[in-house]
Structure 1
């Protein structure tokens, strides 16, 4: 979800939503959303057989390469490599 959608839902400005969120969570809304998406991707990679293309649609990425770049920037490896390495560790 984006800040503009949230502000429209509540009938307040994006600036107000951002300040309110930061005041109550001590985190910027965009950073919170990115961290949340990252956790959702990790969970799906570890606990489901969901394809990357399905995650793209569910989490609002523009395409698979966008999700792959986002994940690799945060975790230092591709989603596929993450899934393989973590599942190997979990099965041992």
Structure 2
């Protein structure tokens, strides 16, 4: 196992692990993965979170790149950004298996 490669893989995936330590963000991500794309209002309706809480969590999730946003008129539609997460996890798995 190459230590530098393994540590780099851990460092790359740590922001993703950190963002999902919160169960509310896990819930929001699950909703987005099931539905594909949702607005803040839709997420507020399907969770027990307030609109400000949903907006706060989405902002944090956007900064780590686990979700993406698309502007449609005055609404923002949020969707999961799974591919980069999967790539980071694959890199970590490969580094650990070496």
Is the TM value for this pair above 0.5?
no
Q: Which TM bucket (shorter chain)?
A: 0.3 to 0.5
Which structure shows the higher helix fraction? 1
TM-score (norm 1): 0.38
Q: Which structure is higher in strand share?
A: 2
